[in-house]
Chains A and B, each alone.
Chain A
Amino acid sequence: MSGLDLLLWAVLPYVALTMFVVGHVWRYRYDKFGWTTRSSQLYESRLLRIGSPLFHFGILVVLLGHIGGLVIPKSWTEAAGISEAAYHVTAVALGTVAGVCTLAGLAILVYRRRTVGPVFTATTRNDKLMYAVLTLTIVLGLAATVLANLAGDGYDYRTTISPWFRSVFALSPRPALMAGAPVLFKLHALSALALFAIWPFTRLVHMLTAPIGYLTRPYVVYRSRDVARTRPARRGWTA
């Protein structure tokens, strides 16, 4: 294990995570007004209606897949009676379908962003950077999965990458586990770290405020005049 590995797999993850967490806190405190999806549906909805659900539902399945593969240890699924082969087939099939949907949706959305005048005008440099990193991450992830399965039986990341991923959160990183992973998986992890690092400063913040609470709250919200704005009352006369 080289110094570079140490840097990439034991230092960088914490840098990215810190930026992710602190960045979100900072953004929430100082830029609540900017915390929005910045939807462009008002300008165009024909392409959006296909691309956006394709991308978003795709990426949600991908997210679930990552939780299943990275967070849940192999021993648990095996204890539950799921064999490595069964897991692998399901993961590859579901992951590929979801990945392709995500990528197709993203392609439609990027095409729309570039070709529909008002949408392109509303695209900031921040958006362009975010799109580049996001696309790179998705392409690398999909490529790693597909190529590994085309070349052989696929790569069992649950013995290397997953324990490394969990070790980062356990605050005792094991960079050696990652050092031996195929290069595509490494690149995918690195671009994902970059994505997490820039996440709080892009429009992606909308993900963290996904409106799940809507399912349970009462329909009509009543609120009193802004209490937060109250300041200590001053005397009504001058000295």
Chain B
Amino acid sequence: MRVMAQLAMVMNLDKCIGCHTCSVTCKQAWTNRAGTEYVWFNNVETRPGQGYPRTYQDQDRWKGGWELNRRGRLRLKAGGRLRKLLTIFANPLMPSIQDYYEPWTYEYDRLFSAPAGEDTPVARPKSLITGQDTRITWSANWDDNLAGAPELAPADPVLRKVSDQVKLEFERAFMFYLPRICEHCLNPSCVASCPSGAMYKRSEDGIVLVDQDRCRGWRMCVTGCPYKKVYFNHRTGKAEKCTFCYPRVEVGMPTVCSETCVGRLRYLGVLLYDADRVGEAAAVPDEKDLYEAQKSVLLDPRDPEVLAAARAAGIPEDWLEAAARSPIHQLIFEYGVALPLHPEYRTMPMVWYIPPLSPVVDVLADTGHDGEDAGNLFGAIDALRIPIGYLAELFTAGDPEPVRAVLRRLAAMRSYMRRLNLGQPADESIAAAVGLTGRQVEGMHRLLALAPYAERYVIPTAHPEQDGRPEELVTGCSLDYAGGPGMGGPFGEASGRPAPVAVETFHALKERQETGALVDPADRAERVNLLNWDGKGLPEGLFPKRKEDS
């Protein structure tokens, strides 16, 4: 057993309202630069829909991920090493900018600079690729909220896999949102596809990154990733991808997308897994066994044997503690409601999803039934093949049973908690019907519905004594090494320790997240106006008082 730690995410799709705040804040933080105009490390897709880039799930066309060869061994679907090198001069499986969309801006300046005249000036759309006038015909989110669905949704590769009757009903009845980031897979096919070896999985936390100094722009990672979450920066000629906001998580802050999620539907935590078993689990012959195989690779963070092996592998104590408290582990195992996205790609994705029950509830309510009665809900879940068929294609390689089990648990939680809310006695039989106890249902409800900040995000900080220092702590001058020109000595601006950028905001943020009041009235009088401060000495109130002093 070779224990490794992995930072993972769960998204509760029932709570996603498709507001795209995660996408926008992520873009502002990471990809609002030339060359990445079309890049969304985080995007939110409406299902059914084509996704971004268009029909990326159609692996017959894009050949992302892994497949089994005739001897039952894993190989890259796009071809082996030699084939990759032979197609390196023109990658036949690379999506073009049109498959994403041609990014554009508007000529806003025209609105102000146009000479006075009869006509109202207009701001024409200009392509950010050519700089010329452009016609906007597609975007990362063109089919949002089923816009144009009669024409566009039939091209949804997932929808094409389910039967015609299901298809028809689905289009009439169901819609939900699927936020996507890089899956930070245990068996990443993008890393395996990179000819230069510039992509790697971090051994401390499992985050998959591109070394910008080693990337040579061979573009094979774009093809290799079945989720199409590695992007080509057309200005720098290098691949870029979601970094799991590693400068933030290293100091204990949640990723930007999680932090800003309006619905509070994202959970972050540590998983322990057996790295020796990943290859074997990814190579199980039947695609439908992949969900269970993936779970079997993950280790129980409370098992003494696992803990001993983890300690031997050098995983720090606070990481083990975080693993034991991990909301991700709870949602996957104890409550059993989180499923991986497209396990059939055999990459062992580490962003998990709680499938949405709301479509079922909505249908029940529309037909005049009590949408929160356990009996009605269980019946509807079984009768409505549609959401289950579609969800199964997304999360369990087409096996409806695990999806049904998850939806039944979510339904049980609804009716069980409703009785409590209405002051009725708890009905253990509802919980028992889905293999849980009342206490567990209440725990699940607390985690899913109340979702306190510190329980949603259980992120251990990086350990500088392991290797390197957290990114946020080294944002000082690059010449600032011992004896270097940046070493300011004991005097002047550069003296002292470099300011840990995120740590400052971390405490402020934590305060803001955990306090009920809009401002903290207690310290208002003692604050220092930095504009009046002459920079000398340490005036009272420059730093917040320590808890024991106040």
Contacts and interface: CB of A to CB of B under 8 A. Distances in A.
Contact of B469 (A209, A231, A239): A231
Interface string B87-99: 0111110101100
Contacts, number: 147
A55 B88 CA distance: 12
> What secondary structure prevails in chain A residues at the interface with B?
loop
Interface in B110-168: 129-132
5 contacts: A39-B232, A221-B194, A221-B200, A221-B201, A231-B480
Given A121-B131, A211-B195, A231-B474, A38 B237 contact: yes
A217 B187 CA distance: 15
Contacts of B188: 220
Interface stretch (A7-15, A17-25, A29-37, A89-97): A29-37
The 8 closest A-B CB pairs, nearest first, are A211-B195, A38-B237, A219-B192, A32-B213, A36-B237, A223-B200, A225-B468, A36-B217
A135 interface: no
B385 to A, nearest CB: 38
A222 interface: yes
Interface stretch (B78-86, B326-334, B412-420, B528-536): B78-86
- B interface residue count range (under 10 / 10 to 19 / 20 to 34 / 35 or more): 35 or more
Counting chain A CB atoms within 10 Å of each CB, which of B188, B199, B237, B469 scores highest? B237
Contacts of A39: 217-219, 232, 237
A57 B90 contact: no
Given A214-B194, A228-B468, 7 more contacts: A43-B96, A209-B216, A211-B85, A211-B197, A220-B187, A231-B480, A232-B482
Contact of B81 (A32, A215, A234): A215
B195 A214 contact: yes
A190 interface: no
B105 interface: no
Interface in A25-60: 32-33, 35-45, 48-49, 52-53, 55-57
B191 interface: yes
A20 B250 CA distance: 41
A52 B203 contact: no
B28 interface: no
A35 B211 CA distance: 12
B437 interface: no
A219 B89 CA distance: 21
Contacts of A222: 200-203
Nearest to A230: B468
Interface string A202-226: 0000100101011101011111111
B90 A45 contact: yes
B435 interface: no
Counting chain B CB atoms within 10 Å of each CB, which of A33, A42, A223 scores highest? A42
Contacts of B199: 221
Interface of A: 32-33, 35-45, 48-49, 52-53, 55-57, 117-118, 121-122, 206, 209, 211, 213-215, 217, 219-234, 236, 238-239
B321 interface: no
B523 interface: no
B541 to A, nearest CB: 20
Contacts of B91: 41
> What secondary structure prevails in chain B residues at the interface with A?
loop
Contacts of A56: 89
Interface of B: 81-82, 84-85, 88-92, 94, 96-97, 129-132, 187-188, 191-192, 194-197, 199-204, 211-219, 232, 234-238, 462, 464, 466-469, 474, 480-482, 490, 496-497
A219 to B, nearest CB: 4
B96 A211 contact: no
A221 B197 contact: yes
B234 to A, nearest CB: 5
Contacts of B96: 41-45
A41 B423 CA distance: 64
Nearest to B192: A219
A1 B439 CA distance: 98
Contact of A224 (B196, B203, B236): B203
B192 A220 contact: yes
B192 A227 contact: no
A214 B481 contact: no
A45 B94 contact: yes
A196 B66 CA distance: 41
Contact of A225 (B90, B216, B462): B462
B197 A217 contact: yes
A47 to B, nearest CB: 9
A155 B175 CA distance: 74
A224 B219 CA distance: 24
Given A43-B129, A211-B218, A220 B196 contact: no
A171 B202 CA distance: 47
A62 to B, nearest CB: 15
Contacts of A223: 200-203, 211
Contacts of A230: 467-469
B234 A229 contact: no
A239 B94 contact: no
A115 to B, nearest CB: 12
A213 B131 CA distance: 39
Contact of B216 (A35, A53, A215, A231): A35
Nearest to A223: B200
Nearest to B187: A220
